[in-house]
């Protein structure tokens, strides 16, 4: 599905003040070019948008927690009612951290 003229205009208007250089095989470049053409975008716009979307997905995977209701309740209970500190936790908390304070 081709990208609309408005979206293409938005992509090209974005300020571009950083560079990423890539070395890749001709086969991969040709695959990207074919997909970009099918999408109605340039190679650069296709790669940037694909990488941007993948970056968002990776970040969400690290920050978004999706649980079934029963699992959420157990997780919430563990946060709200943690077990009392044991000797091992007390020793850990008494140690000087390895980073500067």
pTM exceeds 0.75: no
Least confident of 1-15, 54-68, 76-90: 1-15
**What is the per-residue pLDDT for 6?**
60
**What is the per-residue pLDDT for 5?**
60
User: Comparing 1 with 13, which gets the higher pLDDT?
Assistant: 13
CA angle 71, 73, 74 (to 5 degrees): 65
**What is the per-residue pLDDT for 101?**
73
Which residue blocks in 1-101 are alpha helix, DSSP H? 5-13, 26-39, 43-63, 69-80, 87-94
**Average of pLDDT values for 57-75?**
91
Is 19's pLDDT higher than 50? yes
Cα separation, 72 vs 62, in Å, equals 17
What's the Cα-to-Cα distance from 75 to each of 60, 61, 70, 83, rounded to whole Å?
19, 18, 9, 13
Phi, psi for 4 (deg, rounded to 5): -65, 160
């Amino acid at each position: 599905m081709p990208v609309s003229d408005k979206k293409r205009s938005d992509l090209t208007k974005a300020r571009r003040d950083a560079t990423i250089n890539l070395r890749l095989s001709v086969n991969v470049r040709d695959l990207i070019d074919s997909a970009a053409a099918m999408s109605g975008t340039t190679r650069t716009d296709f790669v940037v948008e694909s990488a941007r979307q993948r970056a968002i997905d990776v970040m969400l995977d690290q920050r978004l927690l999706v649980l079934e209701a029963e699992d959420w309740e157990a997780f919430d209970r563990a946060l709200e009612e943690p077990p009392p500190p044991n000797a091992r936790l007390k020793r850990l908390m008494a140690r000087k951290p390895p980073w500067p304070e």
